[in-house]
């Protein structure tokens, strides 16, 4: 029986990237039916909103979605279409793996880190206001309930994946109430999983940034509040080739939305220049989520084989191939 997945092509280069995914998954032979819905800047004029109700309805019905990058239009009520999606669907965990890939000339090799970013609280909850005429205030919100469910998801998934070391990142030495609560709840949940991991520890966020660029191989799983997770996940992406190779997933109790981390890059739209790798790797992780582990592994091997030669890598990775050529090489490898 076919698995129906909501597909949001996205803005800018998004349609080219998601076309690459459809071609590769078609070559895999996985029985997926795509329910295509439009969101973002491309529907703003017609629908009056970048996030029409039919998009949310489709995702709620299918439980799984893959989306291309979306441009948030200026002048609307949306701070971010992505943030609105996470709030509306209660996708409280953002998962960002950083994995070294073959063929890339980078200072670091053999990086394998998974970063868990809390997705709905912290400063990104969006509680801001003016204080008088010349000051603005943003309120940082950390709740016990939100932190507990997030930390438990991180431990559960890390255990399933055979991870051995989990580190919570915070600034509780200064923000003793908010970050202190996050850290305390993490260690309370950690007591339930002590026998499953070799090490469970914590790092202050500024020190964590230094650790990641001096000795990243010491780290395995990072558990972060929203803002720190946003920043450190980009740092981890930089260790493995940049945002062009960085997949992402937004996970809730019932719904999962997979997406590349990078933006829509409208200036390259339609030019066969965009690197589909982050979108393809997001789709690979979606296959794992859906239970197609063997197909996901085949896809990973085909991608890695395409990366080994400059003739089949995209230009941003030191190669000469375009979007279509890179995709066709992966299909041929399959």
Catalytic residue among 63, 92, 122, 124: 124
Q: What are phi and psi of 144, to 5 degrees?
A: -65, -45
Catalytic residue among 11, 179, 220, 230: 230
Residue 83 CA to chain centroid, in angstroms? 13
Angstrom CA distances, 71 to 14, 141, 268, stand at 10, 26, 14
Q: Give the ranges where the chain is alpha helix by DSSP (H).
A: 14-28, 44-47, 53-62, 81-88, 144-160, 178-190, 205-214, 226-240, 277-289, 293-307, 323-333
State yes or no: is 230 an active-site residue. yes
Q: Which helix (H) or strand (E) holds 3?
A: strand 3-8
- For the CA atoms of 63, 68, 74, 78, the dihedral, rounded to the nearest 10 degrees, stands at 10
State yes or no: is 292 an active-site residue. no
**Residue the block writes with tokens 């009056």:** 48
**Residue the block writes with tokens 């390259």:** 268
Query: Quick one: which of 3, 21, 23, 122 has its CA closest to 66?
Result: 21
State yes or no: is 206 an active-site residue. yes
Catalytic residue among 53, 201, 206, 253: 206
**Residue the block writes with tokens 């932190």:** 147
Catalytic residue among 63, 67, 171, 284: 171
Query: Quick one: which of 171, 307, 180 has its CA closest to 228?
Result: 171
Residues noted as catalytic: 124, 171, 206, 230
């Amino acid at each position: 029986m076919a698995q129906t997945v909501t597909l949001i092509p996205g803005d800018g280069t998004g349609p080219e990237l998601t076309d690459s995914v459809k071609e590769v998954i078609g070559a895999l032979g996985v029985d997926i039916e795509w329910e295509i819905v439009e969101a973002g800047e491309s529907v703003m004029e017609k629908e009056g909103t970048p996030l029409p109700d039919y998009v949310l309805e489709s995702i709620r019905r299918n439980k799984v979605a893959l989306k291309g990058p979306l441009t948030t239009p200026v002048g609307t009520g949306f701070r971010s279409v992505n943030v609105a999606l996470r709030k509306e669907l209660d996708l409280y965990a953002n998962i960002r793996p950083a994995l070294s890939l073959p063929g890339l000339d980078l200072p670091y090799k053999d990086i394998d880190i998974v970063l868990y970013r809390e997705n709905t609280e912290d400063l990104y909850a969006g509680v801001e206001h003016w204080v008088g005429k010349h000051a603005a205030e943003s309120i940082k919100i950390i709740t016990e309930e939100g932190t507990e469910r997030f930390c438990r998801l991180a431990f559960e998934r890390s255990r399933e994946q055979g991870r051995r070391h989990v580190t919570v990142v915070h600034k509780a030495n200064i923000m003793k109430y908010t970050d202190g609560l996050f850290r305390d709840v993490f260690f309370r949940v950690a007591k339930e999983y002590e026998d499953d991991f070799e090490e469970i520890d914590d790092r202050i966020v500024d020190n964590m940034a230094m650790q990641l660029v001096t000795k990243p191989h010491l780290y395995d799983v990072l558990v972060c509040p929203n803002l720190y997770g946003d920043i450190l996940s980009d740092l981890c992406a930089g260790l493995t080739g940049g945002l062009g190779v960085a997949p992402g997933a937004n996970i809730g109790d019932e719904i999962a939305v997979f997406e590349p981390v990078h933006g829509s890059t409208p200036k390259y739209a339609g030019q066969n220049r965009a690197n589909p790798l982050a979108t393809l790797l997001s789709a690979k992780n979606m296959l794992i989520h859906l239970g197609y582990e063997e197909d996901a592994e085949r896809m990973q091997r085909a991608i890695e084989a395409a990366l080994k030669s400059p003739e089949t890598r995209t230009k941003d990775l030191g190669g000469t191939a375009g979007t279509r050529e890179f995709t066709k090489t992966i299909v041929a490898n399959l």
